[in-house]
């Protein structure tokens, strides 16, 4: 039925009964209920009026088709608008998500190869600058570990790492492992169980590593005490240690985390575990960024640049806190370089497999989801225990002044919120 303005509408009886005869061409007494318009036909029945999008040419093309077919087309079009990319893999929401994506088969996409090659150097430069910046500040400026500026960088990094674990990796893992193309998993808590496993692996590695470090330091301290203690000649002419002969117990000088120091930030093992969690998902980010179609590549590239920048600052601040303080030794350079290179390497791999990668393949989704979940568990452990609890419950912020505490809290929340905001696009 055309409105006075000529707009085409669907006419449906309020009782949902099928009309056996031609519908009337004139309706009177039109009125609205909750944004729905009804009119009265010549027989006195209420008729529901629903406006359609489209012009008269579309009507001519579909003339003679049923109303149900028109409604199905509209629903499918609306569903496609809810399709988006997470970690380079397309996901669609809504009841008809599978219809919107077509199938679980590989989809051919447009790939601008020169743009992707250039983006490798963009990400490389961003990652390098962000991860090496805290190290350079510690080496060539007066910014020390106790400086409030360095505290702000560390707490911003703590927020970034925690948000990366929860908002990015846990979300991506759940989206992939619950994808329609994976099918129904027999164990519904698969995603969170793998995250828990990653957390426990990180804990086990640090615990065992610290036990080994503690044992080594005990032996070193005992040997040093034995070598420096005064000696006396026994009646048999043998030299004996006076302190040992007096029954005194030699205690190793072991600090927090089993190290021979008291700085909680100076923990090579925890930084290494943190980097392993970052590397796992960074290589996946590089691959899935490149295999995303041209329609979303530029948007994802901008998001990944910010992602790498924030994450590089977080990792660089922790690497800069390793002993010797302020020095640029080989261990720090290698740790920083690993982060700077891993995502560009993933992007190079993605360019090589772009014509074979299928983001909707069951095995691919399970592999990506599992690695993301393991990385999420590692970063949750590192972010919440080694960074947040270590700094705030047993570190420099435990008894800090009001100004430093409030500034650190603001920086922490800024890292959480900014990294969580990026989760809307990647």
Residue 127 pLDDT: 96
Summarize pLDDT for 115-156 with one digit per residue, the tens.
999 999 999 999 999 999 999 988 887 766 668 888 999 999
Residue 96 has pLDDT above 80, yes or no: no
17 and 157 co-located in one domain:
no
73 and 209 co-located in one domain:
no
Q: Which of 55, 78, 101 is the last residue of a domain?
A: 78
User: Looking at the domain assignment, is residue 95 inside a domain?
Assistant: no
72 and 165 co-located in one domain:
no
User: 40 and 46 in contact (C-beta within 8 Å)?
Assistant: yes
174 and 300 co-located in one domain:
yes
Q: From 281, 275, 272, 268, select the one nearest 374 (Cα to Cα).
A: 281
CB-based contacts of 152, cutoff 8 Å, min separation 6: 407, 408, 411
DSSP lists the bridge partners of residue 83 as 92
Q: Which two tokens stand for residue 88?
A: 């380079």
335 and 417 co-located in one domain:
yes
Rounded CA-CA distance 154/86 in Å is 28
73 and 125 co-located in one domain:
no
Q: What is the DSSP secondary structure assignment for residue 2, as one 8-state letter?
A: B
177 and 35 co-located in one domain:
no
Residue bearing the bigger pLDDT, 224 or 23: 224
Residue 294 pLDDT: 86
Rounded CA-CA distance 152/396 in Å is 12
User: What confidence category does residue 271 fall into, taking pLDDT thresholds of 50, 70 and 90?
Assistant: very high
Residue 17 pLDDT: 44
Instruction: Name the one residue in this structure whose structure tokens are 């930084």.
Output: 271
Burial of residue 85 (number of CB atoms within 10 Å: 0-12, 13-18, 19+): buried
Range name among 243-257, 258-272, 362-376 with the lowest pLDDT average: 243-257
User: Looking at the domain assignment, is residue 177 inside a domain?
Assistant: yes
User: Looking at the domain assignment, is residue 356 inside a domain?
Assistant: yes
Residue 336 pLDDT: 95
User: Looking at the domain assignment, is residue 280 inside a domain?
Assistant: yes
* Domain of residue 374, residue span: 113-230+241-422
144 and 201 co-located in one domain:
yes
Q: Which one of 69-73, 201-205, 255-259 scores highest in mean pLDDT?
A: 201-205
- Predicted TM-score (pTM) of the model is 0.71
User: Looking at the domain assignment, is residue 96 inside a domain?
Assistant: no
310 and 407 co-located in one domain:
yes
Burial of residue 292 (number of CB atoms within 10 Å: 0-12, 13-18, 19+): buried
160 and 33 co-located in one domain:
no
Residue 114 pLDDT: 95
Rounded CA-CA distance 377/293 in Å is 30
Summarize pLDDT for 241-252 with one digit per residue, the tens.
544 444 444 444
Range name among 200-204, 291-295, 306-310, 377-381 with the lowest pLDDT average: 291-295
Q: Which two tokens stand for residue 258?
A: 């089993």
- Look over the chain and give the mean of its residue pLDDT values, rounded to a whole number: 78
User: What confidence category does residue 278 fall into, taking pLDDT thresholds of 50, 70 and 90?
Assistant: very high
Residue 50 pLDDT: 63
Q: Which of 60, 78, 96 is the last residue of a domain?
A: 78
Summarize pLDDT for 406-415 with one digit per residue, the tens.
999 999 999 9
Residue 295 pLDDT: 83
Q: Which of 78, 97, 124 is the last residue of a domain?
A: 78
136 and 16 co-located in one domain:
no
Summarize pLDDT for 26-44 with one digit per residue, the tens.
666 777 766 677 777 776 7
Please tell me the total count of domains within the chain: 2
Summarize pLDDT for 168-224 with one digit per residue, the tens.
999 999 999 998 899 889 999 999 999 999 999 999 999 999 899 889 888 888 888
User: What confidence category does residue 24 fall into, taking pLDDT thresholds of 50, 70 and 90?
Assistant: low
Residue 287 has pLDDT above 60, yes or no: yes
User: Looking at the domain assignment, is residue 285 inside a domain?
Assistant: yes
41 and 117 co-located in one domain:
no
User: Looking at the domain assignment, is residue 108 inside a domain?
Assistant: no
User: Looking at the domain assignment, is residue 105 inside a domain?
Assistant: no
Percentage of the chain beyond pLDDT 90 is 45
């Amino acid at each position: 039925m055309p409105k006075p303005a000529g707009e085409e509408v669907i006419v449906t009886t309020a009782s949902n009964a099928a009309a056996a005869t031609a519908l009337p061409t004139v309706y009177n007494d039109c009125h609205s209920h909750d944004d729905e318009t009804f009119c009265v036909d010549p027989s006195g029945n209420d008729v529901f009026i629903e406006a359609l999008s489209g012009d008269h040419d579309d009507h001519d093309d579909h003339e003679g088709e049923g109303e149900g077919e028109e409604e199905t087309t509209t629903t499918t079009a609306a569903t496609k608008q809810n399709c988006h990319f997470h970690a380079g893999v397309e996901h669609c929401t809504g009841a008809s998500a599978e219809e919107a994506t077509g199938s679980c088969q590989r989809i051919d996409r447009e790939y601008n190869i020169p743009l992707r090659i250039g983006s490798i150097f963009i990400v490389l430069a961003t990652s390098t600058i962000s991860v090496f910046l805290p190290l350079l500040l510690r080496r060539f400026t007066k910014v020390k570990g106790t400086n409030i500026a360095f505290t702000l960088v560390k707490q911003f990094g703590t927020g970034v790492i925690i948000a990366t674990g929860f908002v990015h990796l846990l979300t991506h893992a759940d989206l992939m492992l619950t994808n329609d193309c994976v099918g129904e998993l027999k164990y519904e808590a698969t995603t969170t169980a793998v995250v828990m496993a990653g957390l426990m692996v990180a804990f086990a590695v640090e615990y065992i590593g610290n036990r080994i470090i503690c044992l080594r330091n005990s032996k070193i301290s005992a040997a040093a005490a034995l070598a420096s203690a005064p000696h006396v000649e026994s009646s048999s002419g043998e030299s004996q240690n006076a302190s040992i002969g007096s029954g005194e117990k030699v205690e190793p000088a072991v600090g927090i985390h089993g190290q021979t120091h008291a700085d909680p930030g100076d923990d090579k093992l925890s930084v290494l575990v943190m980097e392993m969690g970052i590397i796992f998902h960074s290589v996946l980010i590089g691959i899935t960024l490149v295999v995303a179609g041209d329609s979303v590549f530029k948007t994802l590239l901008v998001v990944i640049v910010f992602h790498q920048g924030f994450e590089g600052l977080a990792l660089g601040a922790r690497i800069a806190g390793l002993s010797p303080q302020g020095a640029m030794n080989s261990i720090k350079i290698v740790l920083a370089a690993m982060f700077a290179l891993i995502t560009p390497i993933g992007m190079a791999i993605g360019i090589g497999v772009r014509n074979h990668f299928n983001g909707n393949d069951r095995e691919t989704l399970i592999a990506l989801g599992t690695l993301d979940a393991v990385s999420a568990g590692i970063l949750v452990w590192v972010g919440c225990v080694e960074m947040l609890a270590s700094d705030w419950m047993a570190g420099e912020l435990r008894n800090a002044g009001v100004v430093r505490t409030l500034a650190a809290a603001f920086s922490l929340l800024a890292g959480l919120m900014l990294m969580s905001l990026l989760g809307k696009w990647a």
